[in-house]
Amino acid sequence: MKLYTSPGACSMADHIVLEWIGKPYTAQIVSREQRATPEFRKLNPASAVPVFEDGDWVLTQNVAILNYLADKFGLTMKVQVV
């Protein structure tokens, strides 16, 4: 599993959940400039993080990644609206 992230971005939530799971993964920090490169835009044409790879599976939306991780690892998540 690999998570592309940037400091201060919403991808921090995915990073936290990956830590909680305790399975091996790689976190790749990408800068704003790196997100604008053609290589990164192949992963996410919107040039945004998070991008999550698990084998050939690529997800680019925070809620999709969190739901995928919850389903894959049997997590129960509570959402509280304030």
What is the phi/psi pair of residue 28, to 5°? -110, 110
Cα–Cα distance measured from residue 48 to residue 75, given in angstroms and rounded to the nearest whole number? 26
- Residue 62: phi and psi, rounded to 5, are -50, -50
What was the pLDDT predicted at 78?
Answer: 63
Instruction: Please tell me the predicted confidence (pLDDT) of residue 34.
Output: 97
Question: What is the side-by-side strand order in the sheet with 26-29?
Answer: 26-29, 2-5, 51-54, 57-59
In a domain, 65, yes or no: yes
Band (pLDDT 50/70/90 cuts) for residue 81 is low
Q: Tell me if 81 is assigned to some domain.
A: no
Q: Tens of pLDDT along 18-75? A: 999 999 999 999 999 999 999 999 999 999 999 999 999 999 999 999 999 998 998 7
pLDDT, residue 76, reads: 74
Domain extent for 46? 2-73
Q: Would 79 be classed as within a structural domain?
A: no
- Look at residue 78 and tell me if it is in a domain: no
pTM of the complete model:
0.87
Position 53 scores a pLDDT of 97
Domain count, the chain: 1
Q: What is the CATH number of the domain that holds 67?
A: 3.40.30.10
Measured CA to CA, the distance from residue 73 to residue 68 in angstroms comes to 8
